Structure 1
Amino acid sequence: MTLSSAINAAMSGIYASSRNSNVVADNLANALTPGHSRRVLSVTSAGAGVPGVRVGDVQLVKDPAILASRRVSEADFEAAEQRASFFSRVSNAVGTVDDEFSLASLQSNFSSALVEAISRPDSGPRLNELAVSAAALAEGLNSASDVVRAQRVAAENSIDAQVDSLNQGLKDVERLNAKIVLARASGQDPVGLLDQRDQVIDEINKIVPVKVVERDNNQVALFSEGGEILLEGTASQFSFEAKRDILPYMTVDNGLLSGLEIDGRPISTDPNGRLRGGTLAAAFQIRDDYAIEAQQDLDSMARDLIERFQDPAVDPTLSATDAGIFTDNGSAFDPTNEEGLAGRISLNERVALDGDAETWRFRDGLNAVTQGDAGDATLLRSYTDALEASRTITTTTLGTVEVTAATLAADIISRFAQDNETSTNRVAFTVASFIETSEMEQAQGVDTDVELQNLLIIEQAYQANARVITVVNELMDTLLRI
């Protein structure tokens, strides 16, 4: 090897050591930075017969398979957590069987108050307690309905925010694609831009799970798991019109709620559609499926209560168009207007304690002209019989069943409890998968011990190459003195 070859080899080694030390320093400085990927410098032989090394680009240490697996599990976890939050709130609203404020307990309290009133029909306090328990039952249904409605509005707001975030994220990836191309064209290292783009894609992936496809010049295209184009050169544009409030009868099918559009065309938000998975599909599922089904169950219970006591066969003082103990916002119930009934059910003002209460009407009839025999419990027994009678009820989730009022209340809260448990178990499963894939990904991240060892190796390489230059310099001095 000639002296010039030795110098060139040593200089390339020193340059490689310098670049390597910068890369290691960057790794150490960002070891705790979220989203930072470990960098390595590509160093190869300069070629056959050419002394020294060739320094290439800085590369990110990422396994595409592990990255894709982590993104899938993360999207599943985020969606499962959103669904679980809905079922938890609704389950808390209706309560559990042993909860003193649950719908089942309120139903039981009302039934017990009837029994107490039957034992002493002449007792004003017992009739007043019957009014209190009946009002509490109606208010319990009102409260549960309000929670369902609030959760539906929250889902609507979540959809609106997610669509904005999705559009912004896709535009950011489009811009980063362009910046990466420009960086490479100008000879700059785009590794920081690549890392930034991956972080943006991670955020998009939570909303709509994505498949990343490599394109020329380090650009990427994004597709949904169902094959919808999200970004191919240019970003797709999502649109959605949010409502400030949502009433129970408002749906996408009747045109009162907005669906989702992509580049001006409607796209299905079905759980198994082209945008399946992720928090966006979960929010639509809550708004358009889960909340509607929950409202229907509550409305079925409210309807059952009203119809049990609105029957003139139970209270002979009522006509076919009169309201019974429970009313639809003060009026008789219209079977064609069941949607949202749980939010409108109320105690008949004729026996409500917040007005000119005449609780003797529980005993003598809601439309009785005057008080009757204070010891006559016939009507109160008729109320109890009506409450304990089995009626045919049809709901979306329970199907068609023959139940008493108490059984229906218990079945409804049991159904919500079961949905809550199922969704909680789903979160536990998805979080375990997410943690496992995240740990696999983190194993590829920055290990400070390894990086410090790399620094020692880089230092040794630098010293070796510096020693070569020193020796060559001493040889040159010797030759010049001869």
Structure 2
Amino acid sequence: MSITAAFSASRSGLAAAERWSETTSSNIANASNPGYSRRGAPMTTLPGGGVAVTGYARAVDDRLEQAHRLEISRVAGREVVAAALESHASTLGDIDSSTGLHGRLGTLQSALDAVASDPAQPALQENAVRAAIAMASTLRDAADSLERVETNARAGVRDDVSQINAQLAEIVEVNRKISAEYGLTERRASLQDSLSAKLDGLSEVLDVRTSYDASGRISIFTTGGAPLVENNAAHELVFDGQTDRLTLGGVDVTPGVAGARGSEEGRLAGRLSLLTGDVPRMQLQLDEMTRSLVQGFEAADDSLAAGQAGLFTDQGAAYSAAGLEGLATRIAVNDAVRSDAGGGAWRLRDGVGAVAEGPASDGRRVNGYVTMLGARTDFDAAAGLGEERSLAEFTAGLIADHQQMRNTARDDAESLSAGRDAVEAARASVQGVNIDEELQQLMLIEQSYAANATVMKTLGEMMDTLLAAVR
């Protein structure tokens, strides 16, 4: 190798060491910055000898990134369901709670038993009326809390859709900048970090799949294959609050809907699963329980005229099959038995339709109420709690179903969080900065710089010797 070639090779080595040290220093400086991916300094051999840094290479594992984002989506979907049902579960109460639905029903049954055993006692009659009022109030509270779950979920879906559309617009802008950046520049690496962070944020709301073209431009799809970002253009998600349907460019992408091309994981999917499946079923269960109470007391009271309301009413009216939806939000105790409303508790004994008090020892109707509450009756199969059960059995099943939904979502979120954290740690080990490794890199850089500097010094001494020899 000639002196000139050796000089050129050493000079390129010094320049490469400088670029290498800049990259390593940048890694150390950004080690604690979230979303920063470790940079490498790839080198290539130059013709005639020497090396050159070809750019900035991000340490990235596409499979780990996708796996981590899927876990983010799965955890977020369970967490939003658990959080949405937390307050409702508290309102509903456990099976053993005296102030929950099951407890209120048990209290009502006990109060009616007491009246049946001593029908002449006004205090026992008043106590039974109060138990009925508490039963109706607890049902309304449970229905109202479920309605709030639905309202909040629908508002959350709207917020999620707005957030997704805004994030997609930002991703498109980053996409354009990346595709316009030629070569492995530091700016390109920074833009890719920004894009990765935005995709992580998007994954909390919606599970997505990605692909890249030759220029580094990203395309984003739902797991069902509907395009969200394609050819530097974002497609807008649209939510119809009347039908609870989600569309993308006219294509149905509602999670949980057969044939739809949406994503089944993420916060948005969790909220929509509540709106389109869980909440309607839970509401039907409450309405069926309420219907059984209203109809049961009407059927057991032979003092009622046709179309007259019994002990429990639909806002003062008798039950109508056309008014089943939302019945639990409207149930009330008949004013005819309420002393505070001008009625009399004695009608609990003599019949809500009675116009005058009957024999004080007549417990026939109250015994009918007690028998009715313990008897098996028909329930809508769509409620999912059995078609023929006693009211107490149905109520226990209702509470267990609602509580289990919350508990299952919460337990799944905790379990999936461990998997998410494990994948996150694996991703960080590949893409994150290890200070110890970077310091070792600095030692190698120092050795490389010293070696090239020694060659340069030696070449200088050789040149000085040659010049001295010809003088």
TM-score (norm 2): 0.93
Distance between the aligned counterparts of 1:420 and 1:261, measured in 2? 28
Alignment of 1:54-133 (within 5 A): 54-133=52-131
2:237 matched residue in structure 1: 238
Distance between the aligned counterparts of 1:474 and 1:59, measured in 2? 38
1:173 aligns with 2:171: yes
SS at match of 2:338: coil
> How many residue pairs are counted as aligned between the two chains?
465
Structure 2 portions without partners, runs of 5+: none
1:386 aligns with 2:385: no
SS at match of 2:319: coil
Q: Deviations over 1:409-450 (max 9, x none)?
A: 112112223333433343244223222221211111211111
Q: Alpha-carbon deviation of 1:342?
A: 0.8
Equivalent residue letter for 1:160: R
Distance between the aligned counterparts of 2:454 and 2:172, measured in 1? 48
1:319 matched residue in structure 2: 305
> Would the aligned equivalents of 1:302 and 1:342 in 2 still touch at CA under 8 Å?
yes
Equivalent residue letter for 1:300: E
> Would the aligned equivalents of 2:252 and 2:261 in 1 still touch at CA under 8 Å?
no
SS at match of 1:324: coil
Distance between the aligned counterparts of 1:466 and 1:213, measured in 2? 45
1:464 matched residue in structure 2: 451
Q: Alpha-carbon deviation of 1:457?
A: 1.3
1:139 matched residue in structure 2: 137
SS at match of 2:308: coil
> Would the aligned equivalents of 2:252 and 2:262 in 1 still touch at CA under 8 Å?
no
> Would the aligned equivalents of 1:38 and 1:61 in 2 still touch at CA under 8 Å?
yes
Equivalent residue letter for 1:375: S
Distance between the aligned counterparts of 1:417 and 1:399, measured in 2? 14
- Give the alignment partner of residue 299 of structure 1, picking from 269, 287, 302: 287
Q: Percent identity?
A: 28
Distance between the aligned counterparts of 2:200 and 2:468, measured in 1? 66
Q: Deviations over 1:288-312 (max 9, x none)?
A: 111100000000000000001112x
1:18 matched residue in structure 2: 18
Distance between the aligned counterparts of 1:240 and 1:419, measured in 2? 25
Distance between the aligned counterparts of 1:415 and 1:127, measured in 2? 33
Equivalent residue letter for 1:66: L
Q: Alpha-carbon deviation of 1:186?
A: 11
> Would the aligned equivalents of 1:208 and 1:275 in 2 still touch at CA under 8 Å?
no
Alignment of 1:323-362 (within 5 A): 323-352=309-338, 354-362=340-348
1:407 matched residue in structure 2: 393
2:297 matched residue in structure 1: 309
TM-score (norm 1): 0.91
Distance between the aligned counterparts of 1:284 and 1:25, measured in 2? 47
Q: Alpha-carbon deviation of 1:189?
A: 3.9
> Would the aligned equivalents of 2:54 and 2:184 in 1 still touch at CA under 8 Å?
no
Structure 1 portions without partners, runs of 5+: 243-255
> Would the aligned equivalents of 2:102 and 2:395 in 1 still touch at CA under 8 Å?
yes
> Would the aligned equivalents of 2:253 and 2:263 in 1 still touch at CA under 8 Å?
no
Q: Alpha-carbon deviation of 1:103?
A: 0.8
Q: Deviations over 1:161-188 (max 9, x none)?
A: 1111111121112111111122227976
Q: Alpha-carbon deviation of 1:348?
A: 1.1
> Would the aligned equivalents of 2:228 and 2:235 in 1 still touch at CA under 8 Å?
yes
Of the structure 1 ranges 178-187 and 141-150, higher mean CA displacement relative to structure 2 is found in 178-187
> Would the aligned equivalents of 2:208 and 2:221 in 1 still touch at CA under 8 Å?
yes
- Give the alignment partner of residue 222 of structure 2, picking from 224, 232, 253: 224
SS at match of 2:321: coil
